Amino acid sequence: MDGNTLRGHLDLILLSSLKHEPLYGVAIITQVNERTGGYFTFKEGTLYPALHRLEKAGLITGEFHPAPHGGPPRKYYTLTEQGRSELARKQKDWQAFSQAMRPFGGEV
Amino acid sequence: MNDAEQFIRRATRGLWGKRRVEAQGELRSHIYERTQYHLQLGSNEQDALTRTLRDLGDPRAVHLGLLRIHSLPLLMTLALMGAVVTGVVSTLVQAKPIVIQGGSHFVQDGRHQFERVDGVYVRLSDLKAALPRTAHLTRIQIGLAVYLPGMVRPITLLNMVGSILQQGSNAENPLVNLTDLTRELSQTGVVVDVGGWERPTIRLGAVELDLDPGTNRAVVAELYGTELLSRTQSWSASSGALLWRIGPRDIGVRHTLALKARPGEVFALLVPQKVEKMNSSFGGVLNYGIGAAGADGSVTFTLPAFARRIHVTGDLQALERAVAALNQGPADSALAEMYPAVVIRLTGKLNSTDKRPMPMNVDLRSTVP
């Protein structure tokens, strides 16, 4: 997977992964990996700066909760209302872009 | 100290207080979870930890990422980046004067008819020369693909009338609409800042474009108009579409308002107007003038000639009601005596997270055109 491609869509991927439930870092990595059949694999350390950036922008909020089976507490991220609107906007942008690019993508 | 704690300390160096504690806690939890996962797959403790840290990557990358987010002073961040990737900064930041062209341009459409378009334009070759090597501007069949340092994704400026002007044999070096370009860029995460009224410097991410000192005010006002558009779009679902500017910018009626603003602060004055729309129906829109405060704190705006008598208020809804009244009235209807007007403060930051219209709380019932 080309790193630039992943970087270009990172916010959409992260916001989308939190659409239905709050998740913590490892769970986000696992979910994204499973949903894309392994196409997107994070360099794991880069995930946290991205999550902190979205948190600082008010698109997600993070809160520590005890881990159910012991170990250090996990930081769960939740999509805010602003984040939900941003996700909808990004999804719309993506749909418009992929629609516009279809004629140039060649036969599959 | 074991390898995990060493990684955590290196990755969070330079963070302080609660941010440091929380970032360390998050990384500690990550390392614990992933180590448990590898143990369950049959690794021994040392192997499990080694694999986990390898998957996390270089702690310096995490470190720089976290520092950038958590507002370490820019100078320190640049110094740290320099220590890791020598020379990158010098290729990212580059300032060269750039000439932009405002006013009217004539373009030939597909039916060999000429059409006049107004706007702020820059030659593609000038834009390329002003940008650093790490930027990419490429002519593609459907328009122009643009990538600048700091953008999370590239943008495409489509071949639409007004966005990219191809004139005659100059198709390879067209004029690019800078207002459209900055508006698109402001949606991508790159910081776009007009800079200021007196000495405008467009900042696009890590790139600064020094505008030609001779750049006229109308061109600068047009760029501030991009911010105004984004603020009115967030104001209500309909009002963004209602923002029209009709007619030459410097002809009309002048209003000078005593706003007690700081010299150089920029404002827009909005008034409702009845116009003929594309489908030949008539309806209300918002027209506007943009001006900057002088040394005495007053601001002079130019509005269309019909807006001779205005009533400046801090009530945005008064404007919406006036537009609605114009939408419902007959074709020749106009507002009776006074046009309600609202003053909006502009910051020059086109992708500010604060998108509110920011009306001034003024109530100037009598202004002298």
Q: For A1-46, how does the pLDDT look when each residue is reduced to its tens digit (9 = 90+)?
A: 444 455 557 888 899 999 988 999 999 988 888 887 777 766 777 7
Could you tell me if residue A18 is inside a domain? yes
Residue B208: strand pairing partners: B95, B203
Confidence of residue B102 (pLDDT cuts 50, 70, 90): very low
Mutate which: A9, A44, A63, vs B, most B CBs within 10 A: A44
Using CA atoms, how far residue B182 sits from B99, B122, B232, in Å, is 16, 12, 17
Which three-class secondary structure state does DSSP give residue B201? strand
Of A8, A49, A67, Cβ closest to residue B66: A49
Partner-chain contact B142 A26, CB within 8 Å: no
Could you tell me if residue A105 is inside a domain? no
How is residue B287 written in tokens?
Answer: 């027209």
Contacts of residue A33 in chain B, CB cutoff 8 Å?
Answer: none
Of B57, B152, B154, Cβ closest to residue A45: B57
Contacts of residue A45 in chain B, CB cutoff 8 Å?
Answer: 11, 56-59, 61-62, 65
Among B118, B144, B286, B283, which Cα is nearest to B216's?
A: B118
Question: Would the pTM count as exceeding 0.80?
Answer: no
Q: What is the pLDDT of residues B310-348, one digit of tens each?
A: 888 878 788 888 888 877 766 555 555 678 888 988 988
Mutate which: B18, B28, B29, B138, vs A, most A CBs within 10 A: B29
Torsion of CA B17, B19, B20, B22, to 10 degrees: 120
Using CA atoms, how far residue A71 sits from A23, B36, B109, in Å, is 17, 10, 67
pLDDT at B366 over 90: no
Question: How near does any CA of chain B get to the CA of A79, in Å?
Answer: 17
Range with lowest mean pLDDT among B94-103, B122-131, B188-197: B94-103
Between residues B362 and B196, which one has the greater pLDDT?
Answer: B196
- Model ipTM over 0.85: yes
Contacts of residue A58 in chain B, CB cutoff 8 Å?
Answer: 353
Q: Are B306 and B273 within 8 A, CB to CB?
A: yes
Domain chopping of chain B, boundaries = 3-86, 95-215, 224-346
Confidence of residue B125 (pLDDT cuts 50, 70, 90): confident
How is residue B202 written in tokens?
Answer: 């467009």
- Long-range contacts of residues B192-197, Cβ cutoff 8 Å, at least 24 apart: B192/B349, B192/B350, B192/B351, B193/B348, B193/B349, B193/B350, B194/B220, B194/B223, B194/B224, B194/B227, B194/B348, B194/B349, B194/B350, B195/B348, B196/B264, B196/B348, B197/B264, B197/B266, B197/B292
CB neighbour list of residue B17: distance below 8 Å, 6 or more residues apart: none
Could you tell me if residue A47 is inside a domain? yes
Q: Domain with A46 in it: what CATH number?
A: 1.10.10.10
CB neighbour list of residue B115: distance below 8 Å, 6 or more residues apart: B106, B107, B108, B109, B161
Partner-chain contact A46 B65, CB within 8 Å: yes
pLDDT at A84 over 90: yes
Using CA atoms, how far residue B152 sits from A33, B189, B300, B327, in Å, is 21, 6, 39, 41
Most confident among A6-15, B26-35, B252-261, B351-360 (mean pLDDT)? B26-35
Structural domain range at position A77: 3-100
Q: What is the pLDDT of residues A45-62, one digit of tens each?
A: 778 988 998 998 899 999
Q: What's the average model confidence in pLDDT over B37-48?
A: 88
Q: How many domains does chain A have?
A: 1
Q: What's the average model confidence in pLDDT over B278-298?
A: 80
Range with lowest mean pLDDT among B2-6, B49-53, B211-215, B258-262: B211-215
